[in-house]
Amino acid sequence: MITLVLSSVVIVAFVCWLWQDLQRPPNFPPGPKWLPFFGNTLLLRHLARVSGGQHLAFEALSKQYNSPIIGLKLGREHVVVALQYPAVHEALTKEAFDGRPDNFFIRLRTMGTRLGITFTDGPFWTEHSSFVVRHLRQAGYGRQPMHMQIHNELKELIGIIEDLNGEPVWPGSILPTSVINVLWTFTTGSRIPRDDQRLTRLLKLLQDRSKAFDMSGGVLSQLPWLRHIAPEWTGYNLINRFNQEIHEFFKATIEKHHQDYTEEKCSDDLIYAFIKEMKERKDDPCSTFTVIQLSMIILDIFIAGSQTTSTTIDIALMILAMNTEIQRKIHAEIDDNFHPDEIPDQNCRTNLQYTEAFLLEVMRLYQIAPIGGPRRALSDCTLGGYRIPRNTTILMGLHTVQMDPDHWGDPENFRPERFIGPDGKIINTERLIPFGLGRRRCLGDSLARSCMFAFLVGILQKFSLRLPDSLEGPSLKLTPGITLSPKPYKVVFEPRLK
């Protein structure tokens, strides 16, 4: 009898929980009904596969429910996606959405912790992000020393291209090291040698990681228990391999800084500055300046600096190789402003308006991070008039904003002129938000823009680009993942006559 009563209680409790789990929160944004346990995970994966990417799946749902904001449940998490500029702008700038989700995937990314600066929030994030920005600037980030370091990396890259002697090459195979070394120098005080096999392996693991997941964390975030059944398929093993490799990579650098530390070196790079802060707070039991936090900050910087900028330059070079007329216009603008042996100067950017417009159009049409976020609602609040419960994950459809026909007119066409006004000055950039907005705007904005400009101008100052005669042309369809990336292709760099 007791067993029957207990069984009945358990069944009733389970049915009540199941009914509650299937209910949408009051005034939650419209969207598909969800399943118990799985939510909309299976539906979203199907739509992403059919449409060609998670960002396109969100856009399809937005059209289906005739709403610029959609509400989903992915695994156990409520997720809201903003898909038009007013909603995206509100999500990016409203302080209630300054939080970051805390789930299995994000903790796995940071080696089981909730540390670093990318995926933390609150006073902890404020303190450490301010510290990182302050000391990177003290070491020269965003100022003349950064531009000098960019020029040094550009010179090496030009030398590598010259040594190819016209052999076809995939730009994506030679760009990442040059880009990451700029930020790496301010972080660690030294460059990573181009022939360092550890870096080669890490960049390959990062590429695999980018393709294996999406901005919502993929199945590993939504159904983390699957890692016990399919650790390889879910990407669990991949992230663990990456964590192990990168931990060993950072460990030697941090240990060397500890050994060589002196007070005089604390302004040389970010690691020395962090060690100084650790020493000053060593008697504070509440101090968050720890060795593991330093490792996670370096991890965040490495991930942020290793892919997005170099991928954008890679796409820009691909477009130029396919469009000789655009290439001719940029060559002419460079020749009008720089001597063939003169190093491109950031101060002359305003004179290269077509080149600037070209880069803006690359970032618009080929937005490599088509989904912004993820953010977390820090309290019960509203978005576009809908109620957003506390701890809801917020994603922003940046691709939708930058492909809005009502604003851009012909968004499918690659047309740099849309950013040039009648007076020849840059216009129409307010809805181009590849680096986000608000307090959580990308810290690498200055580096990314400077690198893209200097590397593109520096390469085109010396070379013309063409596609190899014997190889199939590149595909403009980007591979989906956490970020979008072009399929490997090859171009020929031909020296320009001086």
Q: List residues forming the annotated binding site for heme.
A: 442
Cβ atoms < 10 Å from Cβ of 147? 20
Enter the tokens of residue 424.
């020849």
- In the block, tokens 């063939």 appear at 340
Whether the bond between 374 and the residue before it is cis, its omega within 30 degrees of 0, is: yes
* 361 phi and psi angles, rounded to 5 deg: -70, -35
Q: Give SS3 for 426.
A: strand
CA distance 13 to 16: 5
Q: Characterize the bridge pairing of strands 386-388 and 381-383.
A: antiparallel
Q: Shortest CA distance to 456 belongs to which of 372, 369, 363?
A: 363
Residue 495: what residue type?
P
Residues with Cβ within 8 Å of 371's Cβ and at least 6 positions away in sequence, in order, are: 54, 55, 58, 81, 214, 215, 395, 396, 397, 398, 399
- Phi and psi dihedrals of 72, rounded to 5? -135, 170
**Ramachandran area for residue 37 (φ above 0: left; ψ -120 to 50: alpha; else beta):** left
Tokens standing for residue 77:
């998490």
DSSP state of 457: H
Q: Which amino acid is at 70?
A: I
**DSSP string over 162-202:** HHTTT--B-GGGTHHHHHHHHHHHHHHSSPPPTT-HHHHHH
Q: Pick the closest to residue 461 from 361, 353, 332, 373 (CA basis).
A: 332
**Binding site: residue ranges?**
442
How far apart CA 34 and CA 25 sit, in angstroms, is: 12
The DSSP line for 348-363 is GGGG-HHHHHHHHHHH
Task: List the structure tokens of 233.
Answer: 């398929």
The pair of three-digit structure tokens given for residue 351, joined into one six-digit string? 């004179």
Residue with tokens 């419209």: 30
